Chain A
Amino acid sequence: MKFIFKSVIGLLLIFILSACGGNDENTVALYTHNDEGEMQAFASALEEETGVNIDILRMSSEASWSRIDAEYPNVGADMQWGMLHSFALIATEEDMLESYHSPTWDDVPAEFKDPDGKWYGWSYWFNVLAINDDLLDELGLDKPESWEDLLDPQYKGEIVLPDPGTSGTAFLFVSAIMQIMGEEEGWEYLKKLDENVGQYSQSGSAPAQMVAQGEYAIGITWDQAVFDRMDEGYPISAVIPEEGVGFDLDVAWIFKDADNKEAAKKVIDFIGSDEGMGLASEFRSMVTKPGMSAELDFDPNFIDYDAVWAAENRERIMEEFQNKFN
Chain B
Amino acid sequence: MSTLRGAIKAKARPRIEPGFAVAAIIIAALLILFILAPVLAVLLRSFGVGTGELTFQYYAQFFQSASYFRAFINSISAGLISTSIIIMISIPFALYVTRSKSMLSKVYRGIGLLPLVAPPFIFSLALIILFGRRGVVTDWINSITGLEISIYGFWGVVIAQVLGYFPVAYMMIESSLRSINPTVENASQDLGASQMKTIRSVTLPLAGTAILKAGLIVFVMALADFSNPLIIGGGESFLASDAFLLVTGRQNLEMAAVLGVFLIMPSLLVFLFQTYLLKDHETASTNNSSAQNNPLNSKVKSFVFSISTLMVLFISLMFIMVILGAFVQIIGINNTFTLSHFSDQSGWNFLWNSVVVSFFAALIASGLGILQGYLSVRKNIPAKKFLEFIALFGLAVPGTVMGIGYVLIFNGPPLFLTGTVLLLVLNMAFRKIGVGLESGISNLQQIDKSMEEASSDLGAGPYRTIWRVVVPLLTPAFMAGFVYTFMTAMVSVSSVIFLISPGNNLAAAYILNLADQAAIGRASAMSFILILIVLACMGLLKFIEKRSKLSV
Q: Which residues of A contact B (CB under 8 A)?
A: 1-4, 7-8, 11-12, 15, 18-19, 22-23, 27, 29-31, 35-37, 39-40, 43-44, 54-60, 62-63, 66-67, 69-71, 74, 76-77, 135, 163, 165-166, 198-203, 205-206, 208-210, 212-216, 232-235, 318, 322, 326
Contacts and interface: CB of A to CB of B under 8 A. Distances in A.
B266 interface: no
Contacts of B513: 36, 58-59
Interface string B243-287: 001011111000000000000000000000000000000000000
B133 A215 contact: yes
B345 interface: yes
Contact of A23 (B134, B407, B418, B503): B503
Interface string B514-552: 101111101000000000000000000000110110011
A194 to B, nearest CB: 11
B134 A215 contact: yes
B501 A57 contact: yes
Given A1-B475, A4-B544, A205-B518, A70 B411 contact: yes
B261 to A, nearest CB: 20
A12 to B, nearest CB: 8
A63 B250 CA distance: 7
28 contacts: A1-B551, A3-B547, A3-B548, A3-B551, A11-B359, A19-B356, A29-B503, A30-B502, A35-B519, A36-B346, A43-B345, A44-B345, A54-B502, A57-B505, A58-B513, A66-B251, A67-B248, A69-B251, A70-B411, A74-B412, A163-B249, A201-B518, A202-B230, A205-B517, A209-B517, A213-B132, A215-B128, A235-B333
Given A29-B501, A57-B500, A322-B250, A206 B516 contact: yes
B47 to A, nearest CB: 20
A15 B359 CA distance: 9
Contacts of B504: 55
A149 to B, nearest CB: 21
A22 B517 contact: no
Contacts of B329: 232-233
Contacts of A235: 333
A74 B420 CA distance: 13
The 6 closest A-B pairs by CB, nearest first: A55-B503, A209-B518, A29-B502, A214-B134, A55-B502, A76-B419
Interface string B94-138: 000000000000000000000000000000000010001110000
B502 A76 contact: yes
Contacts of A31: 502
B140 interface: no
A4 B551 CA distance: 9
Contacts of B132: 213, 215
B356 A15 contact: yes
A232 B134 contact: no
B235 interface: yes
A220 to B, nearest CB: 14
Given A15-B360, A209-B517, A233 B250 contact: no
A71 B411 contact: yes
A234 B330 contact: yes
Interface string B139-181: 0000000000000100000000000000000000000000000
Contacts of B503: 22-23, 27, 29, 55, 57
A199 B235 contact: yes
Most buried by B among A62, A76, A200: A76
Contact of B249 (A2, A66, A208): A66
Contacts of B552: 1
Contacts of B8: none
Given A59-B248, A165-B249, 18 more contacts: A18-B356, A19-B421, A23-B503, A30-B502, A31-B502, A36-B513, A40-B344, A55-B504, A60-B249, A66-B247, A70-B407, A74-B412, A199-B235, A213-B132, A214-B134, A215-B128, A215-B133, A233-B333
A38 B502 CA distance: 16
B205 interface: no
Secondary structure at chain A's binding surface: helix, strand, loop or mixed?
mixed
A135 B134 CA distance: 9
B249 A76 contact: no
Contacts of A15: 356, 359-360
A76 B518 contact: no
Pick the most buried of A37, A60, A135, A202: most chain B CB atoms within 10 A of its CB: A202
B250 A165 contact: yes
Interface string B329-344: 1101110000000001
B67 interface: yes
B352 interface: yes
A7 B542 CA distance: 13
Contacts of A7: 544
Interface string B489-520: 00000000000111111000000011011111
B245 A166 contact: yes
Nearest to A205: B517
Contacts of B345: 40, 43-44
B56 interface: no
A278 B34 CA distance: 48
A63 B516 CA distance: 13
A213 B418 CA distance: 38
A77 B502 CA distance: 7
Interface string B64-91: 0101000000000000000000000000
A166 B134 CA distance: 26
A234 to B, nearest CB: 6
Contacts of A74: 412, 416, 418
A201 B515 CA distance: 11
A115 B407 CA distance: 36
Given A36-B519, A202-B230, A66 B248 contact: yes
Nearest to A18: B356
Contacts of B333: 212-214, 233-235
A233 B544 CA distance: 48
A205 B514 CA distance: 11
Nearest to A206: B518
A320 to B, nearest CB: 13
B234 interface: yes
Contacts of B360: 15
